[in-house]
Amino acid sequence: MIIEIAAQGGFGGIPAASLHKTIDLADQPEQMRQELSDAFEPVELARLASQPCGPDADRMTYRITVTEDRQSHSFTLKEQQIPPDMLDLIDQM
């Protein structure tokens, strides 16, 4: 599984608040691989993306693409739709 995350936004949408990360789970230690696999499962991302969210001024917007077995799934999530533990995983990537 390959996870690609692109994010932008934050204070005034300044470019300094953007990020782009790609991680191949095959290259990760077993514990991290399992945590990332569970958190970024396409079914879970679809559930999070379907949650309503309030105003998003000065918040990050994340574009998450998960590729597995030559099949890609992409989701756009607002910062407030992402649980704190998933944000921590993104920071660790």
Write out 6-60 in H/E/C secondary structure: EEEECHHHCHHHCEEEEEEHHHCCHHHHHHHHHHCCHHHHHHHHCCCCCCCCCCE
What is the pLDDT at residue 12? 59
Average pLDDT over residues 70-88: 94
Distance of CA 83 to the CA centre of its chain: 10
What is the pLDDT at residue 13? 53
Predicted TM-score (pTM) of this structure? 0.86
11-57: per-residue pLDDT in tens? 655 554 678 999 999 999 999 999 999 999 999 999 999 998 877 66
